[in-house]
Amino acid sequence: MAKAIKKKNQWARFLAIAIGAAIFAAFTPSIAHAVETGTLESLSKSTGELKLSVNTSWVLITGFLVFFMQCGFAMLEAGLVRQTAVVNTLTENFIDAGVTLLAWWSTGFAIAFGTTSNGFWGLDGFFLNNAFTLSNSGTFEYAMGAGGSTAPVSTLSLFFFQFAFSATASTITTGAMAERTDFRGDLIYAFIMGAVMYPVVVHWVWNNGGWLNKLSFHDFAGSAVVHTVGGWTSLIGAYLLGPRPNRVWGQIPPAHNLGYATIGTMILWFGWYGFNCGSTLSLSNPGLVSLIAVNTTLAASTGAIAAFLYIYFRFRQWHLFCGLNGSLAGLVGVTAGCAYIMPWAAALIGLVAGVLVLLVVDIIEWFEIDDPVGAFAVHGACGMLGVIAVGLLGHPALTINKKAGLFLGGGFDLLGVQLAGEVAIIIFVVIFSFVMFGVINSMGLLRVNPEADLIGIDVYEHGASAWPDVYPIDDLQFVGEADDDADIED
């Protein structure tokens, strides 16, 4: 009897275990699936948020570097102009950033990156009206990219980064037009450039629906969009303004402070890493970012070396000014192709740009166009060089359409698009600049009052001097008044 009960209990335990195992077997897949699904969703969400955070940090930090280039331009130009125009140059460079921001916020960003209209300009995003939304539940949501951009960052991040580029274009122009531009005229053209002219070219090239973008025109970080635009605008402005007072052709006025110019150039070189590397708008491909950094550095270095050697063999002297512009020429030249070429090609571009910039300075001088800082030679000429260089040296593994440049056996396909796009941009900029500066000139706001030529634009426009112990305001104003009295007596 006892054995029967014990055996019965064993069967009961076995049955209970079997039932439990069956239940576990039935529900385990569902539980496991639920746990697995929840984990994957959480992991995917966390990964997406991490990528957005990294990309946003990258774009903002590099945007800060590009904005810091405003300081570099200010120091460079202040060092290269004469001491009677230092305050004016610093003031223009400073306020251009503020004016351009308002222009970019109101219309510039929308024209550049809004939903395209036949590939020529954007139609939405004015005043950032589509950068964020407020849902019915009260949730504040930030929009991503823009109508014409799939950038993996918020609209606001993209807006800030591209604003810094826009400010650069107008600042290039101030250098060529230094020492004799009416300050009111500077404010007007800086706003127009940031609101209309520059954004139109951006739309053509960097908007997903832009007509040059669809043709696979290659300009990674702006040799055409920023530097060709700024360079040609500056040339037209300098031509219409006429030369500075007491200008002797064939004898370029010496830079008043090469220390300032050197500091400015080094700041620009540093900021250029934000300019070129930041144009990836993402850190998803760290190898590409590193290639861009190396190419940028090589071009700047070989550009400086080429300029130094060229000027030495020509005059048997090592001119610092030429070396500084040589490095900037290399940076401008590599900007279009920094993501599409191999390092040896970047070094070659720098070598060519370092010599080209000095040759173009001579040409501009021969045409008797007064460009105090060599803005067109650096940005206009070398910007065009950079665009063409992609068509010659583009590597098929790196270009957008996987086509090689002419020198790498790719034929004229890539080069043809580069040349056509560059010509179209130049024609648009030249016509727009003539109209813009012509209207400003007709208003009497382009060239500063002739009295400024007598006492200096710093005193006339700003009532200040960067060197009051060397260039005292009171004495200069007294001299000006004395000359006026003498003219009256005569």
Ordered DSSP codes for 222-266: -IIIIIIHHHHHHHHHHHHH-PPTT--TTSPPPPS-HHHHHHHHH
Between CA 157 and CA 164 the distance in angstroms is 11
Query: What pLDDT score does 250 carry?
Result: 84
Query: What pLDDT score does 30 carry?
Result: 47
**Closest by Cα among 336, 332, 220 to 281:** 220
Query: What pLDDT score does 171 carry?
Result: 92
HSE-CB at 339 with a 13 A cutoff on CA atoms is 23
Q: Looking at this protein, which amino acid is placed at residue 418?
A: Q
Query: What pLDDT score does 182 carry?
Result: 96
Query: What pLDDT score does 483 carry?
Result: 46
HSE-CB at 440 with a 13 A cutoff on CA atoms is 26
Q: Looking at this protein, which amino acid is placed at residue 399?
A: T
Between CA 328 and CA 261 the distance in angstroms is 12
Q: List the structure tokens of 8.
A: 């019965």
Angle at 342 between CA 341 and CA 346, to 5 degrees: 80
Query: Residue 181 forms beta bridges with which residues?
Result: 447
Query: What pLDDT score does 42 carry?
Result: 67
Query: What pLDDT score does 364 carry?
Result: 96
Query: What pLDDT score does 23 carry?
Result: 46
Q: List the structure tokens of 418.
A: 């580069």
Query: Which contiguous run of DSSP H or E holds residue 278?
Result: none
Query: What pLDDT score does 466 carry?
Result: 86
**Closest by Cα among 122, 119, 134, 217 to 162:** 122
Q: H helices then E strands: how many in the chain? A: 18, 6
All residues at 6 or more sequence positions from 313 whose CB lies less than 8 Å from its CB, including other chains: none
HSE-CB at 381 with a 13 A cutoff on CA atoms is 24
Residue 208 CB-density burial (10 A; 0-12 exposed, 13-18 middle, 19+ buried): middle
HEC profile of 126-192: HHHCCCEEECCCCCEEECEEECCEEEEEEHHHHHHHHHHHHHHHHHHHHHHCCCCECHHHHHHHHHH
Between CA 75 and CA 262 the distance in angstroms is 8
Do 80 and 321 form a contact (C-beta atoms < 8 A)? yes
**pLDDT, tens digit only, all 490 positions of the chain:** 555 555 555 655 555 555 555 544 444 454 444 444 556 666 666 777 889 999 999 999 999 999 999 999 999 999 999 999 999 999 999 999 999 999 999 999 999 999 998 999 999 999 999 998 877 777 888 999 999 999 999 999 999 999 999 999 889 999 999 999 999 999 999 999 999 999 999 999 999 999 999 999 999 999 999 999 999 999 999 999 999 988 899 888 889 999 999 999 999 999 999 999 999 999 999 999 999 999 999 999 999 999 999 999 999 999 999 999 999 999 999 999 999 999 999 999 999 999 999 999 999 999 999 999 999 999 999 999 999 999 999 999 999 999 999 999 999 999 999 999 999 999 999 999 999 999 999 999 999 999 998 888 999 999 888 888 776 776 555 444 444 444 433 3
